[in-house]
Amino acid sequence: MKRRVVITGMGAVSPLGPDLVSTWAAVRQGKSGVGPITLFDASTFPCRIAAEVRDSALDPLTGQERRLAKYLNRGARFGMAASRMAMADAGLGPGADAPTRLGVAVGSSGSRPDLKSLGFICRTLTEPGRGPAALDPVGFLSRASSTGASILAIVHNAQGPTLNVSTACAASAQAIAAAFRIIQRGDADLMISGGFDSMICELDVLGFSLVGALSTRNAEPQKASRPFDRDRDGFVLGEGAAVVILEERAHALARGAKIHAELAGYGTTMNAYRMTDSPPDGGGAVQAMEAALADAGVRPSDVSYINAHGTSTAGNDRSETAAIKRVFGDYAYQVPVSSTKSMTGHLIAAAGALELVFCVCSLRDQIVPPTINYENPDPRCDLDYVPLQARPVAVGVALSNSFAFGGNNASLVVRAHR
């Protein structure tokens, strides 16, 4: 018999708030976290808006965190804060009760140097008498995608399986799926899992702009992210982190842990189609959702809410709509589907984890988040996208979708614990 996996802790840092309580309250109210870019001078960029986290909202680093601070890029800093919140919510301290049975699985993209740092590196490498020996290795380590997972393991004394997933927009969902399987196999009893990211920098905003992925609705930042709307023109970059504590059910019950929900199943596939486009018919997204439902042992009609990938790009939203119709048939028109990226922007590697947390909050509060800015329906996106306002719904099973640049797909199923 498979070991059951439950969620006993949650933490988040987002453009909507410094913690999960404030973030979820803003989601329920349909607030947008999008505004002008302040992290660098974007005045000459086609896209000048993003969903930024306010630095002042983060608690100061403490103890061992401070000693490791030099290795933390901006995204990992958010991940540190979210992991601390999740561990506290789960009632766990460093190492829990057995460090070798506690692991880490997170999704992140690492970070790129800003233009000032890049210029310094180039000058140092080319100036006579300087060269590579004059550069600090800490900068290299802080930008590596694997560093964040290692630092979380050090801070929380997690000596079990530790891994970092870097598959763009599917990264944290796939990391949570990996953590789920690690516990099911018996290789760990507890996993710190989720994702963190910050790609609001010159090189990343330029890159996404060059492939035509970002909204240029600069005059109306809070109206820019509009998934499934006829007038959508691209996604809005966000940043932040979300972390969940996954725990083997018997282990959680034995220590009297508060159980938020059960992670019941997942599916992950690859489109093998194009780097930036999703197959018009849904492609691998169909197989990912079907695999997740089968793994969880639930029927499509059992699902009471879908948190869509819903990026606000023309191709993704139509492809995901087509995929949902193929999986759910006529029931696709009855199940509420919403995109919280309309409020948070796209957190890239952290998106799947944050959206899974929103699904758990929906299970707890029996309410589903809205898709804000859904004002002008696209005839090819004709499902119930919970427009503009949150809605009371009896949620027993929720499905969270994460479909990435490059073609990676991941779907997670979470249900009320029983």
Residues annotated as catalytic (active site), given as ranges: 169, 309, 346
Cα–chain center distance at 296: 21
What is the full DSSP assignment across 7-64?
EEEEEEEBTTBSSHHHHHHHHHTT----EE--SS--TTSS--EEBPPPGGGSPPP-HH
Cα–chain center distance at 348: 6
Q: Degrees (nearest 5) of the Cα angle 300, 304, 308?
A: 85
The candidate with the shortest Cα–Cα distance to 158, out of 240, 268, 75, 243, is 243
Ranges of H-type helices in 41-146: 63-67, 74-89, 115-126, 137-143
Cβ–Cβ under 8 Å, residues 47 and 8? no
For residue 102, the SS3 value is strand
For residue 371, the SS3 value is strand
Ranges of H-type helices in 156-277: 171-185, 202-210, 249-254
Cβ–Cβ under 8 Å, residues 143 and 84? no
Q: How many CA atoms lie within 13 A of 72 on its CB side?
A: 20
Separation of alpha carbons 239 and 226, rounded Å: 18
Q: Which run of H or of E encompasses 246? A: strand 239-248
Cβ–Cβ under 8 Å, residues 106 and 195? yes
